[in-house]
Amino acid sequence: MGERIRHLVIKEFIQLLRDRRMRAFLFIVPVIQVFVLGYAATFDVNSVSTVVIDFDRSSESREIIRRFTSSGYFSVKANLTEDREVIPLLDKGKTLCVIEIEKGFSERLRKGIPSEIQVLMDGTDSNTAMIATGYVHSVLKKYGSPKGGTDKSPFRTRIWYNPDLRSKNYMVPGVISLIVMLTSLIVTSMSIVREREVGTIEQLMVTPIKPVELIVGKTIPPALICFFDMILVTIVGLFWFNIPIRGSFLLLALCTAIYLLSTLGIGLFISTLAKTQQQAIMATFLFFQPAILLSGFATPIENMPQVFQYLTYLNPLRYFLVIVRGIFLKGNGFDILWTEMAMLFLLGFLIFTLSSVRFRKRLN
């Protein structure tokens, strides 16, 4: 039995790696995805396009403008002289933020009279507008007290796990989950469908190989490739993006193996539905896109409607994202992650078992 599986695994690797386009998909595309998501898919808001209207023209108003430009968050594009110039800039999307300092601001500030600064924000992109508004409050914090005093709040904020609030630290570990899922789904489903499409599946079935051996031989190569991609993405994240990994890499490898039970099982199930490789690819992305949306990859699950929150419990990507981010950013161990690991194993075992039974029935 072991000898037959070994020969089948070798055949699968030869068939996968002899195609130059498939090699690019397996080993180059994952690196490209890391760079794209690491740089483009970011929640950081920097260089907010800003225009200033300073009617006061005092040392205090100039100090406020200096604070905005030196904060690193705002990029002052223009200093306007009239209110009527503001609306066209906002309408055309030329600026995101408008800061207006009224005449007499410095005089009221010196007398201890509450002074206001008008800030207009383009709320088309609500997430960016909210973050930029937070930056505005941070810069103007000193001037929230009379006579320009410092903030007297007794509260102090300390951020754990990701003190620099770098969205790359949050996004790049999640890419591992996406790459492992997408690679395992496509390679598993297409390798089986390809055998059926060209008619070689019947040739395999007349050999002494058994259905269970065929399943094992077809799933081992995608699993090994996914492990390689996981290591590759981790290396890029550590040495290029400076992503910390505070937990155990061995625990990450173990959880990846558990995660593969689900993804390989889903790929096996897709192979029982599709008759052509084109259908397999379409079915893969029909599953993959909703899985991302219902995983908490980019948006918190708690913000979803209740019915969709229940659906996320059937999504293996949900559990693996918690595990990966916990290992990378928090240094979580088995004592913290055992619940997610248990749920992931249970879900993976059920999916792989049901898909294997359906596959064997399809072969018979």
Same domain, 220 and 307: yes
Phi-psi region for residue 57, left (φ > 0), alpha (ψ -120 to 50) or beta?
A: left
Using CB atoms within 10 Å of the CB of residue 336, give its burial: 0 to 12 exposed, 13 to 18 middle, 19+ buried: middle
Same domain, 54 and 16: no
Q: Where a domain ends, among 148, 174, 203?
A: 148
CB 259 within 8 A of CB 316: yes
58-112 pLDDT tens trace: 888 888 888 888 887 888 888 888 888 888 888 878 888 888 888 888 888 788 7
> What is the rounded CA–CA span in Å between residue 185 and residue 260?
10
Question: Which sign does the torsion angle of CA 20, 25, 31, 32 carry?
Answer: positive
The DSSP secondary structure of 328-364, one letter per residue, reads: III---HHHHHHHHHHHHHHHHHHHHHHHHHHHHHH-
107-129 pLDDT tens trace: 887 887 777 788 888 887 677 78
The reported pLDDT for the residue numbered 287 is 93
151-193 pLDDT tens trace: 444 445 566 777 776 778 888 888 889 999 999 999 888 888 8
CB 149 within 8 A of CB 109: no
Number of domains making up the chain: 2
Half-sphere exposure of 361 (CA within 13 A, CB side): 9
Q: Where a domain ends, among 119, 148, 177?
A: 148
* Residue 79 belongs to domain spanning: 48-148
Domain-embedded: residue 154: no
Domain-embedded: residue 84: yes
E strand spans, the chain: 48-54, 74-80, 97-101, 118-121
Domain-embedded: residue 184: yes
Domain-embedded: residue 104: yes
Q: List 52's β-bridge partners, or say none.
A: 79, 99
Q: Full-prediction pTM beyond 0.85?
A: no
